[in-house]
Amino acid sequence: MPADAADKLLVARIRDGEADAWQECIDRFEGRLTAFVDSRLGNRTTAEDVVQETFLGFLTALPNFDDDTPIESFLFAIAAHKLTDVLRRQGRRPALTGVLANSEAGTVEPAGPARVASSLLRSDERKSREQEIIAGCLRDLIRDWMTRSEIERLQCLELLFVLGYPNKEAAARLGISEQAVANHKYFVVSKLKDAAKQARIADFDLSEFGVE
């Protein structure tokens, strides 16, 4: 079977929600993507996080994906874009991008003077610990959802927390109700709070996630 025909079939199966198809996609491209990113970052853990974001980006773009585009080319284009974001280390960036890209990264500059003041009051050690907890929790969620092929939740995670979409726009983009989006957001936030509670961190700061 020609490669382009195989790609089209794989995309069709993923769109149909076949868990085996999604796992096949990961098995087929994960190794090469990780090697590509790791060769430029020199950090295996960070490279794996970038690759996770790459697969999330692919799922988000899937409704508008051009079936004539080779999957490999598309995935590597997403990976290159996300790799650039990591390398730039810009202060102003979505909170989750910084967390997923590198749990050992420095301070992510919040939006607005109030958040800047709040961030300055928190010690570097506390911020580092919070990012570590968030990163670990999110990795577990993403891996579980990928295994279960829960594409809608993965797409919501990308739209809400990485791209910063409000609930209404995320719902319109995915063709689901605002309540469904709110439920997905609540689930993630509750998991983050549970992780903080288990780590015995009081006043866990989730304002960067739109939660006061």
Please give the Cα distance from 141 to 146 (Å, whole number).
9
On the question of pLDDT at 108 being above 60, the answer is no
Average pLDDT score, the chain: 74
Please give the Cα distance from 20 to 107 (Å, whole number).
38
Would you mind telling me the total number of residues written for the chain in this entry?
212
Hey, what amino acid is at 70? P
pLDDT of residue 95: 37
pLDDT of residue 127: 62
Those residues whose C-beta lies under 8 Å from the C-beta of residue 153, and which sit 6 or more positions away, are: 145, 184, 187
On the question of pLDDT at 125 being above 60, the answer is no
Higher pLDDT: 117 or 63? It is 63
Whole-prediction pTM:
0.50
All domains of the chain in start order, with CATH: 1-88 (1.10.1740.10), 90-212 (no CATH)
